């Protein structure tokens, strides 16, 4: 899903390209539409690449956040084990498994979108 910023980038870039074409017809009054379409394609690919990079960065940040949470939960589980609270350890293990599942889903989504 595109953000407002990405949508504005597309609209502003597209407007600049089309305005340039309309402001610069050749000596016979013919507009350089082929070049305009080439520039629109270039803009589209540039913005899509930028969008993909941003999405990849966001996914990596989320994965790291969940890995940090798992590390915290593992320490908590160790403390609970030392205190003899096995029921709490089971619940914590479930949370860890859930976070690992989310990380796997993020990794699979990343791989499928390449």
Decide: 12 and 45 in contact? Cβ < 8 Å: no
Number of structural domains, the chain?
Answer: 1
pTM summary value: 0.64
Which structural domain, as residue segments, surrounds residue 51? Answer: 4-112
- Per-residue pLDDT reduced to its tens digit, 65-82: 999 999 999 999 999 999
- Judge whether residue 3 has pLDDT over 90: no
- Judge whether residue 18 has pLDDT over 60: yes
Cα dihedral: 50, 53, 54, 57 (round 10): -160
Q: Tell me the C-alpha distance between 29 and 36, whole Å.
A: 15
Report pLDDT for 67. Answer: 96
Q: Tell me the C-alpha distance between 10 and 2, whole Å.
A: 10
Q: What share of the chain has pLDDT > 90, as a percent?
A: 65
Report pLDDT for 28. Answer: 86
């Amino acid at each position: 899903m595109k953000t407002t910023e990405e949508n504005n980038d597309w609209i502003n870039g597209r407007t600049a390209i089309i305005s340039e074409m309309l402001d610069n017809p050749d000596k016979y009054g013919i507009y350089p539409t082929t070049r305009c379409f080439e520039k629109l394609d270039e803009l589209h690919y540039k913005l899509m690449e930028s969008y993909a990079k941003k999405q990849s960065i966001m996914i990596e940040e989320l994965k790291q956040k969940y890995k940090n949470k798992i590390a915290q939960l593992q320490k908590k589980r160790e403390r609970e084990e030392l205190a003899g609270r096995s029921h709490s350890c089971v619940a914590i293990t479930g949370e860890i498994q859930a976070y690992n599942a989310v990380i796997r889903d993020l990794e699979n989504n990343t791989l499928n979108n390449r």
